[in-house]
Amino acid sequence: MTMTTFFSLLEQRVAASDSLLCVGLDPHLHDLPTPTADSALNFCLHLVRNTAPYAAAFKPNIAFFEVFGAEGWRALQALIQAIREQADRLGSPIPIILDAKRGDIASTAEAYARSAFETLGVDAITLSPYLGRDSVEPFLGDPTKGVFLLCKTSNAGSMEIQNLLVLPVGSDRPMPLYLYIAELAVAWNQSGNIGLVVGATHPQIMAHIRAAAPGMWFLAPGIGVQGGELEQALRAGLRSDGLGLLINVSRSIARSDDPVRAAAHLRDAILRLRNSLKR
Amino acid sequence: MTMTTFFSLLEQRVAASDSLLCVGLDPHLHDLPTPTADSALNFCLHLVRNTAPYAAAFKPNIAFFEVFGAEGWRALQALIQAIREQADRLGSPIPIILDAKRGDIASTAEAYARSAFETLGVDAITLSPYLGRDSVEPFLGDPTKGVFLLCKTSNAGSMEIQNLLVLPVGSDRPMPLYLYIAELAVAWNQSGNIGLVVGATHPQIMAHIRAAAPGMWFLAPGIGVQGGELEQALRAGLRSDGLGLLINVSRSIARSDDPVRAAAHLRDAILRLRNSLKR
């Protein structure tokens, strides 16, 4: 019997939906008919209803709710509830990853963990590694809750710090910071509930990180508007079992005239490419 | 005529209050009589009323409000309003620094900036540098709003990543990551509204960062419960003009039987040490 972890729950959903697609729920102000929390909620509910059958996971980014203050938080809580109900109708729980990129000292991290996993009740959260292990540990106590640690992000500015060559203590072999973070994450992953954020915009780098963390799940933003290419990302990031890579797509589904078709098309394109790479 | 920036506003308050003390507003759950947003608000209001005359700035940490979801955000908004009213009574605006440690790609960072500076209406925010310049820029457009970039934090885990030796491109001189971040911050500081978070728990490191960023304001947590020593921190972190260092204290004021006396005592101790170091 293997332990139930966030990632085993995710793998159940991947099997049930035959999908590696993570649908990003990012209600950008300029995509909303009116700048209100209700409008942000409706924007996301429309996406959830249309894409749930094709979603291995949903990833709301909390920034687009915080813009509306307390009302935005209320909308986020309603959205999470609606995703749970939609998944019940489908008969298959859909993991919710809160994109929050938090990172603070342990006593504060405990409050953030409680906020995400208890108050909001999401299944996983994205975290920044800059403060070190003690800032991540408060999120790891419950193995059914997951953490995606920022390793190599999809933006241009990620080169400035994440690509720096670092000299680990006791080593004379310089390595990029993102690779060092991947190695730390593997060492910190005692409960099997850590994954990595690895942008799809840098497939060669993704391949290096995959070599350093062969068993980990990657959450990969950057496909679509940000310019990442799907086939290269799958080639670089899939585990040897054909899993381990969640392709996050936000704007190209949300801004499509037909989000059902856009999500179905992406889910199928990922599957087809994955299956052709397997052979 | 010099441009009005967040830091010129801060320096006005430092002069008016004769203080370099930043009062942290961290309503830890276990310090509250009941685990409610109202209780967190009352805890902070008590601190604000008692310490305002001695506060160069207030620093609420948003994690302790997010624990309560939408109600927590409402409490934070009420707290900010109460600080403004208290400052009006004193006849001197008191800067509010939101401790949030955000950091995301530019389009998301815009939403976080709007949330902090418009929805909440704070004067400054703490940010993580891990995603690079494009993640910080959306916060810099209005020079009257400030950013404190995490450079060297006060926790033990900060050694793991922030102390790594890095080799900047085109350089064969390894330097600790925190020093590289300080140099980047100086380069990014075109509008004069960036400061650094530098833990008071590592005074030697603070002295190195001061040498790399001689003109910048530092926000220094870690005095008190976290073990940092005041005199060493002032010696290491003050600018040559006797300013540039905000000593943040949270728990040793909040948990004191007499927060008025604790805040007054700290303000005076900082001043006395600062003046003795000047000579």
Average pLDDT over residues A127-132: 98
CA distance A107 to chain B (A): 8
Q: Which of A50-59, A83-92, A218-227 has the lowest mean pLDDT?
A: A218-227
Q: Note whether B71 contacts A: Cβ–Cβ < 8 A.
A: yes
- What phi and psi values does residue A125 have, to the nearest 5 degrees? -145, 150
Contact between chains at A131 and B29 (C-beta distance less than 8 A):
no
Q: What is the DSSP string of B136-149?
A: HGGG-SSTTSEEEE
Contact between chains at B155 and A132 (C-beta distance less than 8 A):
yes
Distance CA(B31)–CA(B39), nearest Å, equals: 10
Q: Note whether A73 contacts B: Cβ–Cβ < 8 A.
A: yes
Contact between chains at A131 and B153 (C-beta distance less than 8 A):
yes
pLDDT score at A279: 61
State the catalytic residue, choosing from A101, A145, A152, A278.
A101
| Residues of chain A neighbouring B153 (CB-CB closer than 8 A) | 105, 130-131
Q: Provide the 8-state DSSP code for A53.
A: G
Exposure b/e, A61-83, CB count within 10 A at least 16 = b: bbbbbbbbbbbbbbbbbebbebb
A270: which residues sit within 8 A by CB, 6+ positions away?
Answer: A19, A20, A21, A230, A234, A247
pLDDT score at A228: 65
In three-state secondary structure terms, B59 is strand
Question: pTM here?
Answer: 0.97
Q: Which fold has domain A6-159+189-274?
A: TIM Barrel (3.20.20)
Digits of tens for pLDDT over chain B (279 positions)? 567 999 999 999 999 999 999 999 999 999 999 999 999 999 999 999 999 999 999 999 999 999 999 999 999 999 999 999 999 999 999 999 999 999 999 999 999 999 999 999 999 999 999 999 999 999 999 999 999 999 999 999 999 999 999 999 888 889 999 999 999 999 999 999 999 999 999 999 999 999 999 999 999 998 876 666 999 999 999 999 999 999 999 989 999 999 999 999 999 999 999 999 876
**Is the CB of residue B228 less than 8 Å from the CB of residue B154?**
yes
Q: Note whether B225 contacts A: Cβ–Cβ < 8 A.
A: no
pLDDT score at A126: 98
Query: Cα dihedral angle (B27, B29, B33, B37), rounded to 10 degrees?
Result: 70
Across chain A, what does the average pLDDT equal?
95
Length of chain B as a residue count: 279
Partner residue opposite A63 with nearest CB, options B28, B104, B133? B104
Q: Note whether A70 contacts B: Cβ–Cβ < 8 A.
A: yes
Contact between chains at B112 and A159 (C-beta distance less than 8 A):
no
Exposure b/e, B59-80, CB count within 10 A at least 16 = b: bbbbbbbbbbbbbbbbbbbebb
pLDDT band at residue A99 under the 50/70/90 scheme: very high
Q: Note whether A74 contacts B: Cβ–Cβ < 8 A.
A: yes
Among candidate residues A78, A42, A79, the one with its CA nearest the CA of residue A59:
A79
Distance CA(B177)–CA(A19), nearest Å, equals: 39
**pLDDT tens per residue, range A232-261:** 999 999 999 999 999 999 989 999 999 999
CA distance A87 to chain B (A): 23
pLDDT score at A2: 64
**pLDDT tens per residue, range A146-202:** 999 999 999 999 999 999 999 998 888 899 999 999 999 999 999 999 999 999 999
**Is the CB of residue A162 less than 8 Å from the CB of residue B166?**
no
Among candidate residues B98, B152, B225, B35, the one with its CA nearest the CA of residue A107:
B225
Distance CA(B29)–CA(B197), nearest Å, equals: 24
Contact between chains at B135 and A155 (C-beta distance less than 8 A):
yes
Among candidate residues A193, A195, A270, A267, the one with its CA nearest the CA of residue A231:
A270
Partner residue opposite B160 with nearest CB, options A102, A106, A184? A184
pLDDT score at B172: 80
**pLDDT tens per residue, range A50-79:** 999 999 999 999 999 999 999 999 999 999
Give the H/E segment covering residue B184: helix B177-188
Partner residue opposite B132 with nearest CB, options A61, A155, A166? A155
Is residue B145 flagged as an active site residue?
no
| Residues of chain A neighbouring B133 (CB-CB closer than 8 A) | 157, 160
**Is the CB of residue B137 less than 8 Å from the CB of residue B151?**
no
State the catalytic residue, choosing from B59, B101, B152, B278.
B101
Alpha carbon A102 to its chain centroid, in Å, reads: 13
pLDDT band at residue A227 under the 50/70/90 scheme: low
pLDDT at A40 over 60: yes
CA distance B61 to chain A (A): 8
Average pLDDT over residues A32-61: 98
Q: What is the DSSP string of A140-179?
A: TSSTTSEEEEEEE-SSTTHHHHHT-EEE-TT----EEHHH
pLDDT score at A226: 62
pLDDT score at A170: 83
Contact between chains at B103 and A104 (C-beta distance less than 8 A):
no
Query: Cα dihedral angle (B42, B45, B47, B50), rounded to 10 degrees?
Result: -130
CB < 8 Å from A in window 16-35 of B: 26, 28-29
- For residue A95, the tally of other CB atoms under 10 A from its CB is 25
Q: In what order do the strands lie in the sheet with A165-167?
A: A175-176, A165-167, B165-167, B175-176
Distance CA(B231)–CA(B223), nearest Å, equals: 10
Q: Token pair of A17, please?
A: 């939906």
Q: Note whether B218 contacts A: Cβ–Cβ < 8 A.
A: no
